[in-house]
Amino acid sequence: MSRSYEGQHVIISFESRKCIHARKCAQNAPHIFNVNADGDWIQPDKGEVQQAIDVANLCPSGAITYQLKNNTPTPEVKVNTAHIWENGPLALRGNLNIENHGASQNATLCRCGLSRKKPFCDGAHIKGEFQATGEVDAAESESTEQTGGQLNVKPLKDGPLYVTGNLEICAGSGRLVKRGSKMALCRCGQSNNKPFCDGTHKSIGFTAEG
Ligand code: FES
């Protein structure tokens, strides 16, 4: 469920089902995002507009978004990236178009196979004790200088996330792992070549909506 909070210059929206409690809001602009408030916990006019924009850009799950009231469009992301979180989800930032979920700039997508909110992470990796390094070895990259543009994410039925568009896969530390324009990313949690799909989802009988 998404709820919007309107200020004088900016509307901030919060989609609770995407939130993974990364706490970028409370850490970077606690005066706007007061998680202990009795009433509305988001108060756009309690800080600068730029602070609200910065928090929305930092919010890895995409739960917090903003719209300027003067209708200035949200700038495109220059480099589409997917960061591999150790023992956790893939954190995507880019000009995302996630099939059946629309456009966004940030999203944390399940890669342990346990989320009940697939394709989004719901934190189930913690209880499920999912273990996977964020520091995988570098793989061969496509020779392209393109980094932006639309990134389409298609969760395949009972299979991986099929991603088309310019994308940099990055280790948790930010190191480049692979640059490409077409990739299948594991979301069953069992690939021996994470974060890439190696077909293991078939042998383990992984099921997920497309
Ligand atoms: S989705 Fe995990 S191996 Fe294919």
Percentage of the residues of the chain whose pLDDT score is greater than 90: 94
104 and 180 within one domain: yes
My answer on whether 57 and 90 are in the same domain is no
Strands (E), 32-188: 64-68, 81-84, 90-98, 102-109, 150-155, 161-170, 176-185
The pLDDT, as a whole number, for residue 174 is 96
The answer to whether residues 189 and 87 belong to one domain is: yes
**CA–CA separation, 157 and 87 (whole Å):** 23
Same-domain pairing of 45 and 91: no
Does residue 85 share a domain with residue 135? Answer: yes
In a domain, 152, yes or no: yes
- Give dist(CA 45, CA 47) in Å, integer: 5
Cα 189 to averaged position of ligand 1 atoms, centre (Å): 7
The Cα-based distances of 1 to 6, 79, 109, 115, 157 in angstroms read 17, 29, 18, 17, 24
Phi-psi bin for 154: left (phi > 0), alpha (psi -120 to 50), beta?
beta
pLDDT score of 26 more than 90: yes
Average pLDDT of the chain is: 96
Ligand 1 atom with least separation from CA of 190:
2
pLDDT, position 162 = 98
Among 24, 46, 68, identify where a domain stops.
Answer: 68
Q: What's the pLDDT band for 114 if we cut at 50, 70, 90?
A: very high
Q: Is residue 89 part of a domain?
A: yes
Domain boundary among 68, 93, 124: 68
Contact residues of ligand 1, CB 6 A cut-off = 159-160, 186-188, 190-191, 197-201
Nearest atom in ligand 1 to the alpha carbon of residue 159 is: 1
Q: Which candidate, 31, 24, 181, places its Cα nearest to that of 91?
A: 24
Region of residue 168 (left: phi > 0; alpha: psi -120 to 50; beta: else): beta
Query: Tell me: the pLDDT tens digits for 132-171?
Result: 999 999 999 988 788 999 999 999 999 999 999 999 999 9
Protein residue with its CA nearest to atom 4 in ligand 1? 197
Identify the pLDDT of residue 13. 97
Q: Is residue 210 part of a domain?
A: no
Residues with Cβ within 8 Å of 208's Cβ and at least 6 positions away in sequence, in order, are: 113, 118, 119, 155, 157, 158, 159, 187, 188
The β-bridge relationship of strands 90-98 and 150-155 is: parallel
Does residue 42 lie within any of the structural domains?
Answer: yes
Whether residues 93 and 197 fall in one domain: yes
| Among 118, 190, 203, residue to substitute to test ligand 1 (most atoms within 8 Å of Cβ) | 190
**Total count of domains within the chain:** 2
174: containing domain: 81-203
Do 86 and 187 fall into the same domain? yes
Domain boundary among 68, 89, 123: 68
**27, part of any domain:** yes
Q: What is the pLDDT of residues 60-95, one digit of tens each?
A: 999 999 999 998 989 999 999 999 999 999 999 999
Q: Work out the average pLDDT over 27-42.
A: 95
Asked if residue 192 is part of any domain, the answer here is: yes
The reply to whether 59 and 96 lie within a common domain is no
Centroid of ligand 1 to alpha carbon of 123 (angstroms): 19
pLDDT value, residue 145: 80
Supply the pTM of this predicted model: 0.95
Instruction: Please state the rounded mean pLDDT for residues 31-52.
Output: 95
How far away, in angstroms, is 171 Cα from ligand 1 center?
19
Do the domain assignments include residue 75? Answer: no
Ligand 1 atom at shortest distance from the alpha carbon of 185:
1
Residues 6 or more apart in contact with residue 48 via CB below 8 angstroms: none
Q: How far apart are CA 33 and CA 185, in angstroms?
A: 33
Tell me, in angstroms, the distance from the centre of ligand 1 to residue 25's CA.
33
Rounded to whole angstroms, the Cα distance separating 157 from 192 reads 20
